[in-house]
Amino acid sequence: MVFGSGVPTVGVDALSADDFLVDVREDDEWQAGHAEGALHIPMSEFVARFGELTEKAPEGGRINVICRSGGRSAQVTAYLVQQGLDAANVEGGMQVWEAAGRPVVDAVGAPGAVI
């Protein structure tokens, strides 16, 4: 699947708990609710923290990028692809993640909500 101008995408239903996920939403969104185990690097800090991503991403594995609805993550995915990395935008973002019944936790690990 592709988003916009050739950005690779992946559906929530195609992701397993072992897949690497990076959440590019802002701090308030992350604190309210996120996918457990995801790496949080806000889009506004992404370029400055790129090294953090490359240190934590699985060697040779795909980087799945998620935001609230898919717009910001599509932009970050396009950037990662330009850098030569295997990346995919999570279609529909955290809204679809939550609607699919996938677990959402808040900043302290309690049940969270997507805002």
Structure tokens given for 68: 């609230």
Unique residue bearing structure tokens 């900043």: 107
The distance from CA 65 to its chain's CA centroid, rounded to whole angstroms, is 3
Active-site residue among 7, 53, 57, 67? 67
The greatest distance separating any two alpha carbons of the chain, rounded to the nearest whole angstrom, comes to 37
Give me the amino acid identity at 43: M
59 is catalytic: no
Measured CA to CA in angstroms, residue 41 lies from 1, 53, 101, 108 at distances of 24, 8, 24, 17
Catalytic residues: 67
